[in-house]
């Protein structure tokens, strides 16, 4: 906890210069009082600094793990995040600056829209950058107008059987190699409710649980069996992912984040380890009292 160490140091200097004759026992007493103050509010250790740039955040998790709460928060903080759907802003920017190639569907026999492009999924952009050996920073670098945009990727995988796309697992090595400065996170949720929520996600043309089970070669016999098999598959896959992340040399830090319980500051210490944050980040942490939004803001179908 660097920030606490820092406030301790500042306090000690103050105490010894102002009241140098103070007894050691007194310092200890007063230190504990001061620490109680600096811990509350929890974001007190962060310093707003307009010169701080937004690092890139990449979430390696599957959907329905709290990605909408995460997206809403990062949006307000100014990361201009991309959730699973790339939206008009990025589509327009890619078109305007001559990078329509990143919108192509790299999946053999993949479904295209009427213009011959993929369905506006960020997963295709991710796969295309990997194929080209490019960093996802290329999206921010399109033009000075996109400089501070598209700094977070909150949900990458897309299951649209027979298209099975989850590059954060299948192409993890390349993704990490091409994006060495990104801050990697894994949103997690209690596994039973996570998988249940995926299976409930049946809104044509998407069937998240069913398509995921097909892609992972699991049984589709009935929802109960699918639930159990998916729980095991998701658990195993995330465990393998964590093992692979810790095996990189130098190690690549991965933050597991439970948005229903963890404070926003847990994510922000990972993203801004020295505690200096863009002012909008500090403002949003305070405004939300350091909590991610808890209501399920994602009631609408992924269509
Ligand atoms: C979809 O478009 C890509 C190029 O973006 C092409 O290679 C592919 O064959 C097309 N798929 C179909 C089914 O037409
Ligand atoms: C499912 O089976 C296909 C065909 O054998 C294979 O290519 C694919 O990798 C399998 N998927 C998983 C997640 O194991
Ligand atoms: C330096 C300082 O503020 N010392 C105070 C620490 O707290 C005790 C009471 O707990 C005071 O008596 C000291 O003056």
Mean pLDDT per 10-residue segment, the chain (303 residues): 50 44 44 45 78 97 96 98 94 95 86 77 96 98 95 96 95 98 97 95 86 95 96 98 94 95 96 95 95 69 36
Q: How far apart, in whole angstroms, are the C-alpha atoms of residue 14 and residue 31?
A: 11
Q: How far apart, in whole angstroms, are the C-alpha atoms of residue 65 and residue 250?
A: 28
Report residue 108 as tokens: 């053999």
- Same domain assignment for residues 3 and 91: no
Beta bridge partners of 183: 57
Q: What's the pLDDT at 106?
A: 85
- Same domain assignment for residues 7 and 117: no
Is 263 part of any domain?
no
Q: Total domain count for the chain?
A: 2
- Same domain assignment for residues 36 and 66: no
- Same domain assignment for residues 15 and 139: no
For a ligand 2 pocket test, name from 165, 217, 219, 233 the mutation site with the most ligand atoms within 8 angstroms of its C-beta.
217
Radius of gyration of the chain (CA): 22
- Same domain assignment for residues 8 and 128: no
Whole-prediction pTM value? 0.80
Q: Are 126 and 156 in contact (CB under 8 A)?
A: yes
- Same domain assignment for residues 83 and 109: yes
Which numbered ligand comes closest to the C-alpha of 117?
A: 1
- Same domain assignment for residues 2 and 144: no
Is 75 part of any domain?
yes
Report residue 134 as tokens: 């490019």
Q: What's the pLDDT at 296?
A: 59
- 203 by DSSP, 3-state: which? strand
Is 77 part of any domain?
yes
Q: What's the pLDDT at 43?
A: 54
- Pair type for strands 206-207 and 202-203: antiparallel
Ligand 3 shell residues, CB under 6 Å: 15, 19, 22, 26, 29-30
- Same domain assignment for residues 12 and 132: no
Q: What's the pLDDT at 114?
A: 72
Q: How far is CA 283 from CA 73, 78, 80, 228, in A?
A: 11, 11, 16, 42
- Same domain assignment for residues 64 and 191: yes
Torsion of CA 252, 257, 262, 268, to 10 degrees: 40
- Same domain assignment for residues 30 and 143: no
- Ligand 2 within 6 A of CB of 48: no
CATH number, domain of 128, equals 3.40.50
Which numbered ligand comes closest to the C-alpha of 166?
A: 2
Query: What distance, in Å, lies between the first and last C-alpha atoms of the chain?
Result: 43
Fill in the DSSP letter of residue 81: -
Report residue 202 as tokens: 């049946």
- Same domain assignment for residues 6 and 102: no
Q: What's the pLDDT at 140?
A: 97
- Same domain assignment for residues 93 and 238: yes
Which numbered ligand comes closest to the C-alpha of 108?
A: 1
Q: How far apart, in whole angstroms, are the C-alpha atoms of residue 290 and residue 27?
A: 30
Q: Are 238 and 246 in contact (CB under 8 A)?
A: no
Q: What's the pLDDT at 292?
A: 97
Q: Which domain holds residue 4?
A: 1-40
Q: What's the pLDDT at 209?
A: 95
- Ligand 2 within 6 A of CB of 217: yes
CA 183–ligand 1 middle distance (angstroms): 33
């Amino acid at each position: 906890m660097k920030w606490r160490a820092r406030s301790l140091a500042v306090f000690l200097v103050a105490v010894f210069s102002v009241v140098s004759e103070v007894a050691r026992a007194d310092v200890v007493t007063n230190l504990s009082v001061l620490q109680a103050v600096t811990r509350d509010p929890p974001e007190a250790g962060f310093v707003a600094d307009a010169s701080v740039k937004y690092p890139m955040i990449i979430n390696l998790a599957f959907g329905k793990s709290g990605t909408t709460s995460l997206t809403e928060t990062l949006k307000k903080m100014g990361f201009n995040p991309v959730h699973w759907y790339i939206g008009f802003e990025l589509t327009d920017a890619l078109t305007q600056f001559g990078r329509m190639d990143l919108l192509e569907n790299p999946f053999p026999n993949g479904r295209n829209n009427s213009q011959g492009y993929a369905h506006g999924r960020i997963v295709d952009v991710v796969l295309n950058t990997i194929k080209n050996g490019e960093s996802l920073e290329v999206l921010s670098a399109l033009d000075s107008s996109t400089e501070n945009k598209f700094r977070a990727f909150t949900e990458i995988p897309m299951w649209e059987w027979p298209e099975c796309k989850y590059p954060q697992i299948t192409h993890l090595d390349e993704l990490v190699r091409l994006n060495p400065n990104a801050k990697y996170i894994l949103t997690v949720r209690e596994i039973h409710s996570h998988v249940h929520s995926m299976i409930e996600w049946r809104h044509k043309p998407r069937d998240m649980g069913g398509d995921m089970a097909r892609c992972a070669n699991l049984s589709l016999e009935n929802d109960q069996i699918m639930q159990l098999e998916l729980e095991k598959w998701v658990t195993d896959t995330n465990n393998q992912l964590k093992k692979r992340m810790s095996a990189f040399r130098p190690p690549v830090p991965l933050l597991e984040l439970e948005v229903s319980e963890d404070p926003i500051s847990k994510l922000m210490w990972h993203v801004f380890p020295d505690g200096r944050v863009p002012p909008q980040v500090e403002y949003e942490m305070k405004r939300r009292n350091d909590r991610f939004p808890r209501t399920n803001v994602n009631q609408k179908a992924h269509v």
